Homo-oligomer: A and B are copies of this chain.
């Protein structure tokens, strides 16, 4: 039953095959909802049942699965922290009562540090980002996250007291060390402690948000840390959307030698079940109370728990129950770039709509590429019957715009109606003197009001259709096209909007389906159509060039002098950077949207509104 070979344990000693227990591990890549303790406990119970049916001997759920993640200021609410702790205890009892108590289950939750003294600068109520091992109705071990990220989308110094003790749990003869997400990314702490503790498996529970290309980075990191810890590393991640974050799953197991042993697909709830040959635990009495130095002069200790069911030889309790089905783990293929981004948009939209209790969406269809792509994403996420498109032509709308909007509706099957905005625009112009830009904005605002009216009347969530490039330079109308509860393209540059549209059409063609995006929407020059003959290029540089500059300035935080040194025209650099600097207020008022890049407007970039700093490009 155990492979007949020699292997090297983490301690470096050659051991014979009887020293190598095989553990069937199930990583439950699930999609909880922030604050819904009841539904999240149901999720844990139901996926634990599946894991047990597949013979799992250890089940692991992601970071803070019981509360959802991130909980933001809920962490500072004592009634919520208490509710989380009580829900954990209740969940342990429920698993036992449902005859799921024999399998140890690792569950992320929100804990309270009992030994922390209140101090200014520490989060009120001493909450901790923690994981517990549930077994036979009891909470047997707890581990609190040591490394707290406080950059990008993370604010964990604000919310959590760091843990200072590694939990090592002996399960069926294998010592398993626990870690939580950022513990893997920063040097020192749990990873090095795992090596010192002689762990046979480092089990990391994660809430790691999607960024374009991050899956590969996680694999490299996992391999590096497995080598540092001197053992196999298992990584279980959340999946699903939570406000501006999209969790992509992609859970995996990597050997000490860096080989990826199993990988779950991205953007799907799934159970990754894998049989692991792991070194048998040896006694480490000398290490039990060792203190290891961690970063910043702090110390980190090791705590051990042995599950009552386990035995050192690693024989399974059910070893006599006959042969089991093979583990269902495998190596899910990694998605190519456009497929990955598109899946993130679909996942983010589906969960934002569903978790906020909406059943349908409404959006304006201009015939342009942005609204076309948003409509197609919405149809893929929710089904055509839940998507309501509204064409709102004005006197400046071209015939091809109206045709392209109708064509899109026909291709996707979404609900389609036309509401001409002329009468409403005229009623304003008759009563308030509005000319020039004020008149252009008026048209966009009448459209926004119309959509909000339909939202109030019919219950749809309004989708804003602007893209990241427009948002960066402020090419939008506040309370106009910026109206909405969610903005699927908020973090998608214009050039990527085109790429995703082409990719989606290609996929459809390959499947023998109608390409959903009208070709004309992809190929025609972009226009806001708010005055006669208007084109985006009247106000903005060519989008390829613009996205290039914005990538440097926004994503990389590079200055004007560096951009000019790279060969960009100084006057153009100054113009684009100035537009970007002045648009902060508009960006703040924009609806949330799914983060796909390193720096998403919204959570990741927090500039002052009142800000007189202007980059000034040196002469060429």
Sample of 8 more A-B contacts, CB < 8 Å, known A77-B557, A79-B615, A423-B431: A34-B611, A68-B612, A74-B607, A74-B613, A419-B432, A428-B450, A434-B453, A448-B479
Which chain B residue shows the least CB distance to A79?
B559
B608 touches A70 (CB 8 A): yes
B432 touches A560 (CB 8 A): no
B449 touches A449 (CB 8 A): yes
A79 touches B608 (CB 8 A): no
Bitwise, A22-41 to B at CB < 8 A (1) or not (0) is 00000000000111110100
Instruction: Kindly list chain B residues whose C-beta atoms are within 8 Å of the C-beta of A147.
Output: 121
> Can you name 27 A-B residue pairings with CB atoms under 8 Å?
A34-B610, A34-B612, A35-B611, A72-B608, A73-B605, A73-B607, A79-B559, A120-B151, A155-B158, A157-B157, A296-B297, A297-B298, A352-B610, A355-B610, A356-B609, A356-B610, A423-B427, A432-B453, A432-B457, A437-B456, A438-B457, A442-B449, A442-B453, A445-B453, A446-B449, A448-B479, A452-B478
Q: For the complex, is A485 an interface residue (Cβ under 8 Å from B)?
A: yes
A483 interface neighbour in B74, B150, B296, B479, Cβ under 8 Å: B479
Give Cα distance in the complex from A419 to B433, angstroms.
11
Q: For the complex, is A520 an interface residue (Cβ under 8 Å from B)?
A: no
Give Cα distance in the complex from A377 to B442, angstroms.
29
Q: For the complex, is A149 an interface residue (Cβ under 8 Å from B)?
A: yes
B453 touches A428 (CB 8 A): yes
Instruction: Kindly list chain B residues whose C-beta atoms are within 8 Å of the C-beta of A610.
Output: 33-34, 241-243, 351-352, 355-356
A35 interface neighbour in B426, B438, B483, B613, Cβ under 8 Å: B613
A121 touches B186 (CB 8 A): yes
Give Cα distance in the complex from A70 to B298, angstroms.
30
Q: For the complex, is A585 an interface residue (Cβ under 8 Å from B)?
A: yes
Q: For the complex, is A6 an interface residue (Cβ under 8 Å from B)?
A: no
Which chain B residue shows the least CB distance to A242?
B610
- Known A-B contacts A296-B297, A610-B243; the reply to A186 vs B442 at CB < 8 A is no
Give Cα distance in the complex from A123 to B34, angstroms.
28
Q: For the complex, is A539 an interface residue (Cβ under 8 Å from B)?
A: no
A438 touches B456 (CB 8 A): yes
Instruction: Kindly list chain B residues whose C-beta atoms are within 8 Å of the C-beta of A479.
Output: 448-449, 452, 479, 483
Instruction: Kindly list chain B residues whose C-beta atoms are within 8 Å of the C-beta of A562.
Output: 79
Which chain B residue shows the least CB distance to A454?
B432
Give Cα distance in the complex from A612 to B35, angstroms.
5
Instruction: Kindly list chain B residues whose C-beta atoms are within 8 Å of the C-beta of A483.
Output: 479
Give Cα distance in the complex from A608 to B449, angstroms.
26
Instruction: Kindly list chain B residues whose C-beta atoms are within 8 Å of the C-beta of A33.
Output: 610, 612
Give Cα distance in the complex from A52 to B427, angstroms.
63
